[in-house]
Amino acid sequence: MTIRFLHAADIHLDSPLRGLEADPGAPVELIRGATRRALGKLVDLALDEDVALLLIAGDIYDGDWPDYGTGLFFAAQMARLTRAGRRVIVIRGNHDAQNRITRTLRLPEGVRVLDHCKPETVELADLGLAVHGQSFAEQAVKDNLARGYPPAMAGRLNIGLLHTCFEQAGGVHERYAPCTRADLMDRRYDYWALGHIHARQEWRDPWIVFPGNLQGRHINEPGPKGATLVSVDEGRIVSVESRIVDDFRWARVSADVTGCETNEQALARVQTALQTALDATEGRGLAVRVTLAGATALHGTLAAADLRVDVLNEARQLTPNLWIEGVELRTRPLRPPLEDRGDALGLLARRIDALVEAPPDDLLGDWPEQLEKKLPPNTLPDDRKPILARARDLLLARLAEG
């Protein structure tokens, strides 16, 4: 007998996508609905692939529902599955821990939310499966939950459903329900359906899988997002595949402007890079952070230009589905730097360099405070170094022209 199950996590339903404030054309409503459309596509996928079971490894919700609409949408999507005879097993994670979600709605029969007080096992004898798991009772679960999970059930394919920061995952994550690979191996399960880390990762023997979140929510969650489809034949896992269901995509795009002599040439390179990123999205909306890099005689003039507007203009001309999250300048000057010269200009350049490298406390006086009063909150980064470096580039470019 062949059966399939689908493993998803970190849906963060109705989470706002962040970082498009810089693009005046950003369709806020369209972007806000992305997590809902991704969940709808997950259910479509489950039905198309004829899966017997959907597992969700925590963080279905981003936090307490803003209103009942969030819960109503989730219940309606789950009902599409249960009406078709599919089962759903979920746990709560740090974002939707038992004590964080104050509103409740009855979920359809066929959807099981596992207990938050102790690990629970659901035996699905007709499918040959045993699913073990435990929900988060509160946001900051510091205990190693995996160690409390029951041993594998004989004669069943055993699946562990767990929301965890898993030691082997790398990266920086909130350290909730930590566990090691050895903890998981001790249980002797066949598949660990994990959640919490938003980038897809997998290990084998046994299968330990983070499917990643369902929908990227900002520039640090770039690339395709989706769920993991698992096929089981005669009680053995025979395939584990990533399936993409996201509705809106984030990407970092780098344009190499080496050798460009005019801003127009540089912007043409930007347009080519944007087009390449668009081609990979298969018609989805796309938000990008554009970086210009390479050695160019334009280094100084690019630093002085309002590049954000120029890049927005390139994006608008390509397609109505592309938004600019930000523009970064990482070019280098083409000519031997002023700092290498033996004359007074060289001396001045070296002094300016030294100020940027180790700025004295009073270098900027009360300018940052003055600026902060005039700008929207949190516009100025706490780290002043990139701003100072850009000021240096501008200043040196002006000096070099003179």
Chain positions contacting Mn ion, by CB under 5 A: 59, 93-94, 196
What residues contact 20, with CB distance under 8 A and at least 6 apart? 26, 28, 31, 287, 323, 325
Helix, strand, or coil (residue 347): helix
**Which residue, 57 or 111, has its beta carbon nearer to Mn ion?**
57
CB 304 → Mn ion: shortest distance, Å? Answer: 43
CB 51 → Mn ion: shortest distance, Å? Answer: 23
Q: Which helix (H) or strand (E) holds 31?
A: helix 28-32
**Which residue, 61 or 250, has its beta carbon nearer to Mn ion?**
61
**Which residue, 166 or 323, has its beta carbon nearer to Mn ion?**
166
Rounded CA gap, 80 and 41, in Å?
12
- What amino acid is encoded at 237 in this protein? I
Nearest CA to 111 out of 82, 132, 91, 72 is that of: 82
**Which residue, 42 or 356, has its beta carbon nearer to Mn ion?**
42
Q: Cis before residue 206, ω within 30 degrees of 0?
A: yes
CB 9 → Mn ion: shortest distance, Å? Answer: 8
CB 210 → Mn ion: shortest distance, Å? Answer: 11
Nearest CA to 80 out of 57, 112, 54, 56 is that of: 54
Q: Which residue is nearest to Mn ion (CB)?
A: 196
Nearest CA to 326 out of 23, 17, 34, 16 is that of: 23
Beta bridge partners of 308: none
Q: Which helix (H) or strand (E) holds 396?
A: helix 385-401
**Which residue, 179 or 302, has its beta carbon nearer to Mn ion?**
179
Rounded CA gap, 157 and 190, in Å?
6
Nearest CA to 211 out of 223, 203, 200, 197 is that of: 200
CB 59 → Mn ion: shortest distance, Å? Answer: 4
**Which residue, 93 or 300, has its beta carbon nearer to Mn ion?**
93
Show the DSSP H helices in 60-132 as ranges: 68-83
Rounded CA gap, 148 and 159, in Å?
14
CB 173 → Mn ion: shortest distance, Å? Answer: 8
CB 89 → Mn ion: shortest distance, Å? Answer: 17
**Which residue, 189 or 210, has its beta carbon nearer to Mn ion?**
210
